Amino acid sequence: MATTTTATSGFSDLVQELVKERAEEELRARLVHAMPGNFLPGRLIKGTNFIRFARYADLSVSTTALTEATAPTDQELTIASEAFSATQYGGTIAVSDLANLDSPHELISIAAEKAARQAADTIDVLVRDVLQAGASVKYSNGAARSAVSAALTGALVKQMFWNLQKRNVPTFADGTYRAIITPNQAYDLEADTATGGWMDVHKYVDNSPLLTNEIGRYAGVRFMVSSNAKVFATAGASSVDVHSAFFFGPQAYTIGDSQSLSAYFVPPGGDHSDPLAQKAIVGWKVRFGAMLLDEAGPRYVRLETAATTV
């Protein structure tokens, strides 16, 4: 197991030279895939490792006229369900007593913040990968990912809006759909100068509460951008990167846990493997899962495009 010690690369520089008390801030992706409000929370069935959703299908239209004095044929409900299981994830950071003593920074606090970020980032990426495995997919041009060469445009956004409308996917309470896109796709969409096109959040006049990491809206869709959004490297035509935009309505996917996200701190000497109290351990653990709710029909569409910037 790896432990941060006074021999760790870069540590000696901290104690031999004047160092700022505040460390540099990391450049981080916006975490939107597991953002509350974007998904339907799932609750684990006690005593199992499954979260199950039931579906009672609507009856087909009845266009046959009744016969006088004759009861219609009874019908039965069609019952279906879909389920997913939870998987455990976690991580630890170890800091030696001497490293914590000699460092000009509070390493335990830093480790705690890094562990929290790792947990959030891990959940975001795992949920993203579930969303990207869905079969409801369109391409900016061509009939396959390997043929994609066209960037995201306002016209394509309108197509995705009406694609969802055609499937009777409801909008969110504000009358819009939502989309998660890459920064490259955001650039292309903001560059679309068509009439009635892109609107930045600071131009909103309806006082709508902003979504976390929302950058603007277009054609009935509110956009959230994240560098964690899926990119299929060199998968398009002429080996261009293919960027995935996830358009969705409410209850398009679910996230549930059987073990809530928890943080842990084991002080020096906290177990028998550390009899001389030489290291502290900070960590996190969660058991969760995610699933696209497709049984009643997909409430999402994934649009794969190229991008004009790299």
Name the residue ranges covered by the structural domains of the chain: 138-249
Of 76-80, 110-114, 183-187, 238-242, least confident by mean pLDDT is: 76-80
Model confidence at 6, pLDDT cuts 50, 70, 90, reads confident
- At residue 14, the pLDDT reads 66
> Is this prediction's pTM over 0.75?
yes
- The 8-class DSSP code of residue 148 comes to -
The rounded distance, in Å, linking the Cα atoms of 268 and 229 is 39
- SS3 sequence of 88-146: EEEEEEEEEHHHHHHCCCCHHHHHHHHHHHHHHHHHHHHHHHHHCCCCCEEECCCCCHH
Q: For 125-151, what is the mean pLDDT?
A: 94
Average pLDDT (239-250) is: 96
- Select the highest-mean-pLDDT range: 35-49, 94-108, 193-207: 94-108
Is pLDDT at 310 greater than 60 in this prediction? yes
Contact 115, 262 (CB under 8 A): no
Q: What is the pLDDT of residues 82-130, one digit of tens each?
A: 888 889 999 999 999 999 998 888 999 999 999 999 999 999 999 999 9
Of residues 137 and 49, more confidence is placed in 137
